[in-house]
Amino acid sequence: MRFMLLLKGDPVGELPSSELIGAMISFQEELTKAGVLLAAEGLYDSSFGARVIYDSSTRRKTVVDGPFTEAKELVAGFLLIQVGSREEAIEWAKRCPVEKAVEGRPDHVEAVVEVRQVGDIDDLPDATDDQRAAERQQRADRGRR
């Protein structure tokens, strides 16, 4: 079973401290040594990002530049792991040192690790056989680049 651990937060204007970087590197090393880590990436904060928003009443799409508020809903990075169960994924999420991202801040902030299982088009009942085939083709093509 594959799970994505989504690290939530959006430290606009501040780059991760060396302490946070060190803690994340140790955590990834721990995951690697346990044989469960498949991939990991970190994201720049939302001031470098943008949103494309579709409005159903105007039927138009607008582009909104970052930064965005609601920091605890924003993704700052992810870890892709392969584990035996949902519970194991949660156990690993508990060990992720997200506290290092918010420690020492005077205001009350939450640091969140969201645990989500990676999906498979075979599990979607509404997908047609052609759609399944097309999705697989795309995966195959992506893998070649």
Q: Which residues bind other proteins (CB under 8 A)?
A: 32-36, 38-39, 82-85, 87-88, 90-92, 133, 136-137, 139-140, 142-144
Q: What is the smallest separation between the CB atom of 7 and other proteins, expressed in angstroms?
A: 19
Nearer to other proteins, 33 or 59 (CB): 33
Task: Closer to other proteins by CB, 69 or 137: give it.
Answer: 137
> Which residues lie across from 115 on neighbouring strands?
5
Pick 36 or 76: Cβ nearer other proteins: 36
Dist CA 74 CA 42 (whole Å): 12
Provide the minimum distance between the beta carbon of 36 and other proteins in the complex, in angstroms, as a whole number.
7
How many other CB atoms are found less than 10 A from the CB of residue 60?
9
Rounded to the nearest whole angstrom, what is the least distance from the CB of residue 136 to other proteins in the complex? 3
**Shortest distance in whole angstroms from residue 17 CB to other proteins:** 22
Helix (H) or strand (E) holding 109: none
Q: CB-wise, 91 or 110, nearer to other proteins?
A: 91
- 50-55 and 112-117: which strand pairing? unpaired
Q: How many CB atoms lie within 10 A of CB 77?
A: 18
Computed from CA positions of residues 79, 83, 87, 88, in that sequence, does the dihedral angle turn out positive or negative? negative
Q: Which is nearer to other proteins, 24 or 93 (CB)?
A: 93
CB of 16 to other proteins, least distance (A): 23
Classified as helix, coil or strand, 125 is coil
Tokens of 79: 């870890």
